[in-house]
Structure 1
Amino acid sequence: MTDKPTQMDERAEPVAFALRLASSDNFQSLFQEGMSLVEETALYLDGDGRTESKALDRPASLAYATESMRLTTRLMQLASWLLLQRAVNEGEMSKDQASSEKNKVRLDRLSSAVESTAWNDLPESLRELINRSIRLQERVVHLDEMLYRSTPVIESDDNPVALQLGQLQAAFGRMG
């Protein structure tokens, strides 16, 4: 019987799922979705949104102004993060450089009027854009956590399977 190296012998490091995702077609799709949402929102706020906001009563108009500013802020932060990650993916910036720059980007959730009575008074188009931006934000925050937080790993004498399980545990919570 010969001692042929197995694939596991050749791969000492576990697969970094987050890094693969961040540099995959899935990231490109997320990037496109984010940039399209920024553009769509700008067109809405500068066009139909402006018209719709003029038809609102005073309390709803105030809610519209507040929510449109929150929406714009959220999307600018998401676009900044997506552009940083794309720069890393394309080799224009190191992960450490992006991590440093990323500290200027605020991905934490801005409060929204979703649960308030003013929410129902906002135009449907604005509410839909807000909801889409929140869903996009949740996906970006999840990817950001997977890429940039330090991951505790199960001690296991360098067992690649145990290392992967440790990363999965850190990403998705306790398993079992």
Structure 2
Amino acid sequence: MSDFTGKSHFGTEAIAFGARALNSELFRELFREGMALVEETAAYLDGDGRTESRTLSRAATLSYSTESMRLTTRLMQIASWLLMQRAVNEGEMSPEQARTEKNKVRLDFQPPVMSGPLWNELPETLRSIIERTDRLHGRIVHMDKAIYDVAAEPAANLVARDLDRLASAFGARRADS
């Protein structure tokens, strides 16, 4: 059995997927993209977005307000997650502290509704930012699961779980169960 750091409690070394993911170029690119999207969104909502929203119908204005609040909330949660992971990567926070603090960061929000007449009335720039934020969110959720879900469950349990799934899919039982 291994802990979050990858240290095995049985004398063998487990692969520390979390540490490798956080130290990867993939994470650094994700971080840069996420923080750039936060800055772009803030500039848009305070500038051109404010101007564009004045030309919308009453219903589209309400939709714009709702979507911009949701977008801001999503981006703040994404930024919090990215900053926390960078802190772990740079040794400012231990992986155990991150696991505790991670519970305060919400990545389980509902995806935006990117269709319908009101969606089509929203300014193109806002729609583009929402779509890119949704894709970024998906990548972050994937990395979060790779870091925390694998670290939370010992490798032997993961293999057993997968064998159980295969056995049940084919209507068989494992001999060692």
Superposition TM-score, scaled by structure 1 size: 0.78
1:153 maps to 2:152: no
Structure 1 equivalent of residue 123 of structure 2: 123
What letter matches 2:124 in structure 1? E
Q: Counterparts in 2 of 1:19-168, with a 5 A limit?
A: 19-149=19-149, 150-154=152-156, 166=159
Q: What SS class does the counterpart of residue 71 from structure 1 fall into? A: helix
- Alpha-carbon shift at residue 116 of structure 1 (Å): 3.3
Alignment RMSD (CA, Å): 2.3
Unmatched segments (≥5 aa) in structure 2:
1-11, 167-177
Cα–Cα, structure 1 residues 34 and 73, in superposed 2: closer, same or farther, change >3 Å? same
Q: Which is worse superposed, 135-144 or 108-117?
A: 108-117
* Alignment deviations for residues 75-100 of structure 1 (CA, whole Å, 9 cap, x no partner): 00000000000000000000111111
Does the 8 Å contact 1:70/1:110 carry over to 2? no
Q: Percent identity?
A: 58
Unmatched segments (≥5 aa) in structure 1:
1-11, 156-162
Superposition TM-score, scaled by structure 2 size: 0.78
C-alpha separation in 2, matches of 1:22 and 1:110: 25
* Alignment deviations for residues 135-175 of structure 1 (CA, whole Å, 9 cap, x no partner): 111111111111112235337xxxxxxx8xx49x6xxx97x
Q: What SS class does the counterpart of residue 131 from structure 2 fall into? A: helix
- Alpha-carbon shift at residue 25 of structure 1 (Å): 1.8
Does the 8 Å contact 1:67/1:113 carry over to 2? no
Does the 8 Å contact 2:22/2:89 carry over to 1? yes
